[in-house]
């Protein structure tokens, strides 16, 4: 009848008035009437930004006061930060750092070579974690802080978990190198890997199945996959891969390679072959596995998606494998696709098949750690290689997606953890790590605060924010459940509390490590 364009505002009330002007010529007019004007839903974000900028200004003024000798001496005497830094730098992680579990007196000969812990890694981890906490708490109920329902643009929240996986891989490279350098046997290190993986998986099952008021957990509807479970299994595979398939001398760079420019890659060819084989298995299962009632290689959301032709095919092979091996009652029952696509099938975004690509993501982070180890103190080499890896991953993503939302060979999909999702998020992860490494560890223009502190206690903050999500002061009853201002206030308050808690724990030298 007519075509009209209009930018509708949130909470506005509108009427579309359609009138027939002439019955003979069938002329129709369409007028849009604003019954109630919309609100500016972005004002709360502006206000929150100004508040945090005010806090930042106060902190800057505080630092200026710290330049006064009398004030500085009094604060240092009260806080004693040197002792805290000594404790932090004794933790596992950076190259040439002592294994705190080591008791061999001979190993203290290495103490003169000890280095400061790379703060950029903890800052990277903390930034990803804190934004993840904010998004999990609701993100102020803004659409751009929500995960994409299926294929599509890579919203900022969709890349957070992948960055956490990426930096976990980087930390694996540094921590294993440190433990082996300080004399721990491979058997002992493997035992630590197995134990830590077990604890992560166990904690994950407890966290994703809160049943505090309904009695004991029931196996009938126990969700098996989850974030910590995937992290635990990914850690197990990547850490064991690094420990068992690293050639002697490869870590120190003494192994001769035909191409010196690739000396951080070629000595580890067994690991690359293993990862490539895993990816081939993932792609074969995704595109070749027969799924009852679904076209082979289906990657859609099911439900009313694809004109409702495949309502029970949510996730294709990935969903089918989870339902077959784990059972429908043991996977996530409310996937992000069920609102828009009205899906009825359960689907778990942390399922079995997607874990393979999570391992690939962690392995790319492992490569970043190798670069730091091989080229320590060679800042230009490290940053240039981060940049090259980012470009390579970006090119692969452009080829896989054809730079489109739906038309590529493999669309970006966080729910499926598609290989294009991995290459795209790793592209940005390398760039982000490059920037943080430059600002925090090279130029020392930024201490990493406040994200450095939750990065030092990441497991505690993640589990804590999940367990206490529905408890005051992290959540309270709101007067207007539709108000962005109230949601944003609540979510930012909860997130800021976790940053404050992690800072206080840092000052008290309390670090929960698994």
For the chain, first and last CA: distance in Å? 65
CA angle 111, 115, 116 (to 5 degrees): 130
DSSP labels for 146-212? S--SSSS---GGGGHHHHHHHHHHHHHHHHHHHHHHTT--HHHHHHHHHHHHHHHHHHHHHHHS--T
Q: 123-162: string of b/e by CB count within 10 Å (b at 16+)?
A: bbbbbbbbbbbbbbbbbbbbeebbbbbbbeebbebbbbbb
Question: In whole angstroms, what is the distance from residue 196 CA to residue 174 CA?
Answer: 16
Q: Specify the DSSP class assigned to residue 38.
A: P
**Phi then psi dihedrals of residue 220, to 5 deg:** -60, -35
Answer whether 292's CB lies under 8 Å from 302's CB.
no
Respond yes or no on whether the N-terminal peptide bond of residue 450 is cis (omega within 30° of 0).
Answer: yes
**Can you name the residues that pair with 22 across neighbouring β-strands?**
27
In angstroms, what CA-CA distances link 47 with 116, 239, 487? Answer: 38, 44, 13
Read off the tokens for 443.
């130029």
Q: Of 7, 108, 147, 155, which residue is the catalytic one?
A: 147
Beta strand spans in 448-497 (E): none
Question: In whole angstroms, what is the distance from residue 54 CA to residue 50 CA?
Answer: 6
Question: In whole angstroms, what is the distance from residue 90 CA to residue 79 CA?
Answer: 19
Question: In whole angstroms, what is the distance from residue 90 CA to residue 101 CA?
Answer: 10
Active site residue 7: no
The residue whose two tokens read 């976790």 is 498
The residue whose two tokens read 């030298």 is 509
Contacts of 60 (CB under 8 A, 6+ apart): none
**Largest Cα–Cα separation, the chain:** 101
Question: In whole angstroms, what is the distance from residue 335 CA to residue 499 CA?
Answer: 29
Phi-psi region at 252: left, alpha or beta (left = phi > 0; alpha = psi -120 to 50): alpha
Catalytic residues: 147
């Amino acid at each position: 009848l007519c075509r009209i364009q209009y930018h509708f505002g949130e909470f506005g009330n509108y009427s579309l008035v359609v009138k027939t002007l002439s019955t003979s010529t069938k002329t129709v007019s369409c007028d849009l009437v604003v019954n109630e004007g919309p609100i500016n839903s972005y004002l709360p974000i502006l206000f929150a930004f100004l508040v945090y900028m005010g806090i930042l200004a106060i902190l800057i003024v505080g630092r200026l006061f710290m330049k006064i000798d009398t004030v500085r001496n009094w604060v240092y005497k009260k806080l004693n930060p040197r002792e805290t830094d000594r404790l932090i730098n004794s933790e596992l992680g950076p190259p040439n750092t002592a294994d705190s579990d080591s008791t061999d007196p001979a190993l203290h000969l290495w103490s003169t070579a000890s280095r400061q812990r790379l703060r950029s890694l903890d800052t990277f981890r903390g930034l990803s974690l804190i934004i993840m906490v904010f998004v999990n708490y609701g993100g102020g109920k803004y659409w751009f802080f929500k995960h994409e329902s299926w294929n599509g643009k890579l919203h900022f929240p969709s890349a957070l978990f992948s960055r956490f996986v990426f930096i976990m891989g980087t930390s694996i490279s540094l921590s294993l190198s440190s433990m082996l350098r300080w004399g721990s046997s491979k058997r002992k290190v493997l035992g630590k890997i197995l134990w830590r993986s077990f604890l992560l998986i166990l904690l994950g099952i407890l966290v994703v199945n809160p049943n505090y008021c309904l009695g004991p957990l029931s196996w009938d509807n126990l969700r098996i996959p989850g974030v910590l479970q995937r992290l635990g299994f990914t850690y197990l595979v990547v850490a064991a891969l690094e420990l068992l398939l690293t050639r002697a001398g490869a870590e120190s760079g003494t192994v001769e390679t035909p191409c010196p420019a690739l000396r951080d890659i070629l000595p580890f060819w067994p690991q690359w072959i293993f990862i490539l084989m895993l990816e081939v298995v993932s792609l074969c299962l995704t595109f070749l596995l027969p799924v009852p009632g679904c076209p082979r290689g289906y990657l859609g959301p099911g439900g009313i998606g694809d004109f409702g032709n495949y309502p029970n095919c949510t996730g294709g092979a990935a969903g089918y494998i989870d339902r077959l091996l784990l059972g429908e009652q043991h996977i996530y029952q409310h996937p992000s696709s069920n609102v828009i696509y009205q899906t009825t099938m359960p689907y778990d975004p942390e399922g079995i098949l997607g874990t393979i690509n999570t391992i690939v993501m962690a392995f790319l982070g492992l490569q970043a750690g190798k670069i730091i180890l091989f080229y320590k103190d060679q800042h230009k080499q490290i940053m240039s290689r981060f940049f090259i890896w980012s470009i390579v991953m970006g090119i692969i993503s452009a080829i896989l997606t054809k730079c489109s939302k739906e038309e590529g060979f493999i669309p970006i999909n966080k729910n499926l953890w598609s290989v294009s999702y991995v290459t795209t998020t790793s592209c940005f992860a390398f760039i982000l790590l490059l920037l943080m490494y430059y600002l925090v560890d090279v130029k020392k223009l930024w201490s990493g605060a406040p994200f450095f502190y939750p990065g030092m206690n990441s497991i505690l903050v993640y589990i804590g924010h999940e367990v206490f999500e529905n408890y005051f002061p992290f959540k309270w009853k709101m007067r207007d459940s539709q108000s962005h201002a109230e949601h944003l206030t609540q979510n930012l308050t909860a997130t800021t509390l976790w940053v404050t808690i992690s800072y206080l724990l840092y000052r008290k030298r309390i670090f929960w490590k698994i």
